[in-house]
């Protein structure tokens, strides 16, 4: 799935373009009991409810690909009879009519979803008639493919906040009535995956709201896929590997990590515009790891640990280098470097000014220090014109001045 695929589906989640024909769901309490089940014709819902449920569907495809949206592959065994892919395929083909199939899905989610509190499971069924597009992205009035899919969203349900409000029935200000409110989706998935404007029954597009936790147990138990980390999880894992390699020397570990981050960024920020596929192709394999370590002078035990643990930790996945870049940390580090350089520059200027001031005040000449009563500064061409003479018995310095020349005496400007 790419950005265009996501936008294409989300654009249809509005009243005049919607083709979702059915919505099923199950409300689960904190004790994992099924409190309520629903199964309705989506397009015949009350308008206010229609838009609320539509908003939930749209938010189940929010965020960034690789971070909030992961494309997962079904293992071969899950595509055999009795496997999770086969089950989801049957659920989609049934059109959410069979309650037994829906109950199986609800049970799978209830058993694996790690959440303390109430939540609502929603299952949408849609059939999208994909129109053929020309090379300039213009639609043609002919069908390219019929994409039939289910979209599942799991939404926490929380008690509204306590507060005061107007009690119309009693005509007074009193405690507001608290009720249970359905929140934005926490996790969800789209089956089959929508990849390059086409269905891929061998994959599922998985959504997670908080990229810090991909809910690996949900991926394995509900979808039957191997665990896959989000970009945030990959980045934090790699950061921990580098820091552990330096043990108690936290400063050295942090410095090495920032240098590695800069090397990662240099591979992405080349000054030339890169496509998403080109960026995704730059991965942290063994060759890249060796180059990064050499570039930053990391050797010995630290280099060995970083390389070995990274290859072991990411044995089942090769992370894209872009996923490992911490943009905020890089910006903060760049500002800190700039600040340190500025401090050095200011200190150097202060030292230089102090030396100049000392020279002016003491009039350094060789090793002899003299204190002068009169200090005269003139342009080089004027120096040869200065003469010494005696006027009224007093020794004087005479500096010839033309009418258009100015002079400054103790900070006061004057003319002849």
Together in a domain, 106 and 125 = yes
Distance CA 18, CA 15 (A): 5
Write the pLDDT tens digit of every residue in 263-319: 998 888 877 777 777 888 888 899 999 999 999 999 999 999 999 999 998 988 888
Question: Among all chains, which residue has been given the structure tokens 């640990």?
Answer: 305
What pLDDT was estimated at residue 292? 92
Counted residue by residue, the chain has a size of 416
Write the pLDDT tens digit of every residue in 119-172: 999 999 999 988 876 656 565 566 678 999 999 999 999 988 888 888 888 888
Together in a domain, 201 and 145 = yes
What pLDDT was estimated at residue 369? 47
Which residues form the domain of 406?
A: 376-415
Together in a domain, 51 and 157 = yes
Query: Has residue 169 been placed in a domain?
Result: yes
Q: Tell me phi and psi for residue 169, to 5 degrees.
A: -65, -25
Distance CA 184, CA 172 (A): 33
Taking the chain (416 residues) in runs of 10, the rounded mean pLDDT of each run is 86 86 95 95 91 94 90 93 93 94 96 94 94 64 82 94 84 84 95 92 95 92 91 92 91 90 86 78 90 91 92 88 87 84 86 79 54 74 82 85 79 70
What pLDDT was estimated at residue 370? 55
Together in a domain, 11 and 141 = yes
Together in a domain, 392 and 247 = no
Together in a domain, 142 and 25 = yes
Picking from 325, 356, 387, the residue at the C-terminal end of a domain is 325
Together in a domain, 199 and 92 = yes
What pLDDT was estimated at residue 277? 77
Tokens standing for residue 377: 């500064």
Query: Has residue 391 been placed in a domain?
Result: yes
Together in a domain, 210 and 265 = no
How many CA atoms, within 13 angstroms, populate the side-chain half-sphere of residue 272?
Answer: 5
What pLDDT was estimated at residue 345? 86
Q: Number of structural domains, the chain?
A: 3
DSSP state letters, 240-288: HHHHHHTTT-HHHHHHHHHHHHHHHHHHH-SSS---HHHHHT-B--HHH
DSSP state letters, 292-321: HHHHTT--HHHHHHHHHHHHHHTTT---BG
Together in a domain, 295 and 197 = no
């Amino acid at each position: 799935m790419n950005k265009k695929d996501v936008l294409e589906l989300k654009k249809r989640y509005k009243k005049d373009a919607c083709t979702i024909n059915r919505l099923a769901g199950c409300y689960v309490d904190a004790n994992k009991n099924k409190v309520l089940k629903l199964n309705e014709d989506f397009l015949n819902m009350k308008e206010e409810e229609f838009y609320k449920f539509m908003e939930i569907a749209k938010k189940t495809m929010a965020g960034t690909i690789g971070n909030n949206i992961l494309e997962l592959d079904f293992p071969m065994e899950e595509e055999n009879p009795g496997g999770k892919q086969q089950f989801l395929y049957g659920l989609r083909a049934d059109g959410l009519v069979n309650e037994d199939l829906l109950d199986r899905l609800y049970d799978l989610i209830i058993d694996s979803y790690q959440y303390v509190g109430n939540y609502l499971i929603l299952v949408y069924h849609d059939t999208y008639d994909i129109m053929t597009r020309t090379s300039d992205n213009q639609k043609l009035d002919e069908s390219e493919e019929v994409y039939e899919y289910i979209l599942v969203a799991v939404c926490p349900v929380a008690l509204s906040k306590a507060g005061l409000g107007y009690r119309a029935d009693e005509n007074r200000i009193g405690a507001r009535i608290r009720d249970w409110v359905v929140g934005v989706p926490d996790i969800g998935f789209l089956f089959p995956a929508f990849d390059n404007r086409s269905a891929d029954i061998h994959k599922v597009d998985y959504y997670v709201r908080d990229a810090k936790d991909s809910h690996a147990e949900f991926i394995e138990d509900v979808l039957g896929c191997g665990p896959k980390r989000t970009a945030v999880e990959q980045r934090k894992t790699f950061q921990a590997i580098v820091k552990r390699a330096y043990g108690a020397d936290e400063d050295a570990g942090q410095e090495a990590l920032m240098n590695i981050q800069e090397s990662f960024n240099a591979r992405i920020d080349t000054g030339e515009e890169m496509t998403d596929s080109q960026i995704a192709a730059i991965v942290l394999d063994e060759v890249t790891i060796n180059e990064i370590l050499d570039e930053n002078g990391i050797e010995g035990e630290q280099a060995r640990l970083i390389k070995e643990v990274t290859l072991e930790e990411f044995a089942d996945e090769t992370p894209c280098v872009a996923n490992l870049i911490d943009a905020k940390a890089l910006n903060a580090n760049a500002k800190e470097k700039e600040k340190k350089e500025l401090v050095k520059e200011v200190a150097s200027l202060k030292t230089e000014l102090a030396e100049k001031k000392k020279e002016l005040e003491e009039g350094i000449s060789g090793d002899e220090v003299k204190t002068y009563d009169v200090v005269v500064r003139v342009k080089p061409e004027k120096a040869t014109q200065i003469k010494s003479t005696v006027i009224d018995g007093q020794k004087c310095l005479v500096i010839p001045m033309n009418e258009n020349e100015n002079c400054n005496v103790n900070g006061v400007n004057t003319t002849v």
